Amino acid sequence: MHSLELECRELEKAGVIAAPDAAQAAALERGTIFSVFEELRFALYAAVAAITAGIGLLVKDNFDRIGPITLIAVLALASAACYAAALRTEWQRKERTIGGDYVLLLGALIVSADLGYAESQFHWLGTEWRWYLLILAAFHGVTAYGLRSRLVLCTSIAALAAWFGIEGRAATLFNVGGSAPTLGTHAIACAGTLLVWRAANRRLGGLDSFESVFENFAANIGFWGALALCLTPGARLLGLVLLAALAAASIFKALRGGEEIFAVYGTAYVALTLCCLEAQVIKYGLAVLLLELATVVAGALLLWSLRRQAAARA
Amino acid sequence: MAAAARLKVRNHPWITQRTGGWSAPSFIARCAFFVLGVVACGLTAAVFEILSRGTALLAAGVTLLAAAEWLILRKRLFHAGVEEALWTGGLLLLAAHFVSSSGDRGMSVAVALVLAVAAMRLLNPFLLTLAFAAASVAIELAVGHRFWGAHDVSMAAGVFCYGAGASALLLARFQFLRPSHDHMLSWLMIIMPLCGFLWLATQLAPAIRVGTGLASGIFALVALIAGIRRRSHAPLLACMASLGCVAYQLRDLTALPLKLKLIVWGSAALLAALGLDRYLRTARRGITSHPVGEGTAALDLVQWFGAGALSPRAAPQADAPFKGGGGGFSGGGADGRY
């Protein structure tokens, strides 16, 4: 096994890192400190995914032997137990561990399953049943703020995106005659809503740690929306304008805040979208291939330059 | 460079002065560059296909290799993604030009060799793992079906994969000069036992199911012990992956329906993880469940998008009339229909 302990000491001597950081890094290299945080995170995610999948299948099969009321009540009790654990930690003014975070996420996902199942059984919202997704987004949003959970915020954003009709399947983007135009405008609207939410979070003294969640979701959903519009014959110009605006905003953010990921969004999405667009618009084989190649090379060069500048700012 | 990257000081002027002009981007940027490089490879091959049909693969391969070497030697890119994609793509095109007529077996051997050469040149663990996976395909095509009589059993390929994983686990205890060699062994010990399991997992014969379950179980146990003793993450991840294989082979242990199995097994895994989290809140022999040092942005992003992916999917966009008992809701893993 390779150890970087000597290099850590050298960095400390050169004044590149502070003595406590060097001591911690050396301890990690020696193995006197060893964190299994990431392994736990992986195991917890896999466990929550398995339980959620099982509950998804359970409500899908309707489970006639149990009956809807019992099933809804059991799911509500299970989610209440998960929320109770998080509330207990909150009242004790303790910091929630990674395990507590995932139990809370499980509670939120069970609520989602329960509410969806209840709506499908009792039709409280009638033909406007899709509004339950917005109710769900609001509920998860409130609990995310109340319990300061970024994972629950992610479920809230996902429910909001679902309410906007964003399916998260790449195939729908290339379904030009079908849902791609609607998907594009809905995705842009969703990204805009997330940016407004982020602005409100900042203005009203919300949590700083939520900002990066809003920004990453908004950037990805927005770029997918612009890509969908660019691939729709009647909406290409609008798509290109939005793509340029999103790219400019991402690159500006990358350069100002030193966040490399936004330089990646601002160049890679644009290069790949332009390649798809060029393939659609230009019919002559060699010309389109050369143009696409030039686009990809330009994208890579721009990303190289931007990531250097962003890294220098970080 | 590895120490600077780990401590997030790779852009410090002191580091820049001592790296001899070599530069390596972060993991996220490397992935983006790799994707762009792969697209560039495909487009270059298509351009040469139009320009010179007979020697398109040869010309494209040489061009891509020359471009990759120029980026490495002149621009001093190391683990930047783009040069890795161009180098591998170029060599694969050359291999396709020279061995395209030698059938599936010859092609799979050529692909394995090309990926291994690329992995050694670029010190890339992902490519080396792909090379071993391609080698298992070559073994399967060569001898795989002869080992188990009339049955269609990929025994040789499976044994090769398990052997590669076990060898990597064993070799990782030695000290290597480069961190890249450690990473290569880490990838092999995590992925190859999974490949071995996948070669044999489709077999319903009890002996094979017991054998793969036992092999995965033993590997998981050895990897767990190695991971704890060496204070290394890769064996622990290999252990978790192999435990997943064991759980899959134990799927018929009870007659419960799939949904209940998922809930029961998931709950058991959740309780085990919560128990471990609680137990290690106070460090035991230096092992802790608290995050130490700065986390990686890439893993945080994966976690957020993963949490989003478990949430309900889209509602239908059209104002379709409501159908009794129907809907578009689904929890994670369901297909979106009642």
**Residues A119-130: tens digit of each pLDDT:** 888 888 888 888
- State the Cα–Cα distance between residues B207 and B197, nearest whole angstrom: 14
**Given this model, what pLDDT does residue B294 score?**
60
Stretch 189-228 of chain A: residues touching chain B, C-beta under 8 Å: 213, 216-217, 220
Among B47, B44, B40, B64, CA closest to A287: B47
pLDDT tens, residue by residue, A194-249: 999 999 999 988 889 999 999 999 999 999 999 999 988 888 999 999 999 999 99
B301/A contact by beta carbon, under 8 A = yes
B74/A contact by beta carbon, under 8 A = no
pLDDT tens, residue by residue, A61-100: 766 677 888 889 999 999 999 999 999 999 998 889 999 9
A177/B contact by beta carbon, under 8 A = no
Domain extents in chain A: 1-34, 37-163, 177-314
- CA dist B14 to A45, A135, B4, B74, Å? 39, 53, 10, 22
- State the Cα–Cα distance between residues B283 and B292, nearest whole angstrom: 11
| A57 Cα to chain B: minimum distance (Å) | 6
- State the Cα–Cα distance between residues B76 and B304, nearest whole angstrom: 34
pLDDT over 60 at B304, yes or no: yes
**Given this model, what pLDDT does residue A170 score?**
58
Per-residue exposure over B281-293, b if at least 16 CB sit within 10 Å of its own CB, e if not: eeeeeebbbeebb
A32/B contact by beta carbon, under 8 A = yes
Q: Which residue has the higher pLDDT, B294 or B92?
A: B92
A36 Cβ contact partners less than 8 Å away, ≥ 6 residues apart: B236, B276, B280, B287, B288, B289
Q: Which residue has the higher pLDDT, B179 or B122?
A: B122
Instruction: Kindly report the average pLDDT of chain A as a whole number.
Output: 88
**Burial (Cβ within 10 Å: 0-12, 13-18, ≥19) of residue B76:** middle
pLDDT over 90 at B125, yes or no: yes
**Given this model, what pLDDT does residue B111 score?**
92
**Given this model, what pLDDT does residue A63 score?**
61
Mutate to test the interface with A, among B329, B335, B337, B338 (most CBs of A within 10 A): B329
**Residue B196: pLDDT band by 50, 70, 90 thresholds?**
very high
Domain extents in chain B: 1-101, 254-285
- State the Cα–Cα distance between residues B273 and A134, nearest whole angstrom: 32
**Given this model, what pLDDT does residue A174 score?**
59
pLDDT tens, residue by residue, A178-191: 566 688 899 999 99
Per CB-CB distance under 8 Å, the chain B contacts of A157 are 308
pLDDT over 70 at B213, yes or no: yes
pLDDT over 50 at A115, yes or no: yes
**Residue B310: pLDDT band by 50, 70, 90 thresholds?**
confident
pLDDT tens, residue by residue, B53-78: 788 999 999 999 999 999 999 888 88
pTM above 0.90, yes or no: no
The CB density around residue B146, as the number of other CB atoms within 10 Å, is 10
| A205 Cα to chain B: minimum distance (Å) | 22
Average pLDDT over residues B15-27: 76
**Residue B276: pLDDT band by 50, 70, 90 thresholds?**
very high
- State the Cα–Cα distance between residues A266 and A305, nearest whole angstrom: 12
A263/B contact by beta carbon, under 8 A = yes
Chain-centroid distance of CA A182 in Å reads 21
This complex has an ipTM of 0.85
If you ran DSSP here, which 8-state letter would residue B24 be given?
-
pLDDT over 60 at B338, yes or no: no
Q: How far apart are the first and last CA of chain B?
A: 54
- State the Cα–Cα distance between residues A26 and B263, nearest whole angstrom: 42
B250/A contact by beta carbon, under 8 A = no
- State the Cα–Cα distance between residues A299 and A266, nearest whole angstrom: 9
pLDDT tens, residue by residue, B313-334: 644 434 444 444 333 444 443 4
Share of chain B above pLDDT 90, in %: 47
- State the Cα–Cα distance between residues B189 and B239, nearest whole angstrom: 9
Which residue from B287, B314, B338 is facing A166, i.e. has the nearest CB?
Answer: B314
pLDDT over 60 at B149, yes or no: no
**Given this model, what pLDDT does residue B291 score?**
87
DSSP string, chain A: ----HHHHHHHHHTTSS-HHHHHHHHHHHHTSSEE-HHHHHHHHHHHHHHHHHHHHHHHHTTTTTT-HHHHHHHHHHHHHHHHHHHHHHHHTTPPP-HHHHHHHHHHHHHHHHHHHHHHHHH-TTGGGTTHHHHHHHHHHHHHHHHHT-HHHHHHHHHHHHHHTT----GGGGG-TTTTHHHHHHHHHHHHHHHHHHHHHHHHTT--GGGHHHHHHHHHHHHHHHHHHHHTSGGGHHHHHHHHHHHHHHHHHHHHHH--HHHHHIIIIIHHHHHHHHHHHH---HHHHHHHHHHHHHHHHHHHHHHHHHHHHH-
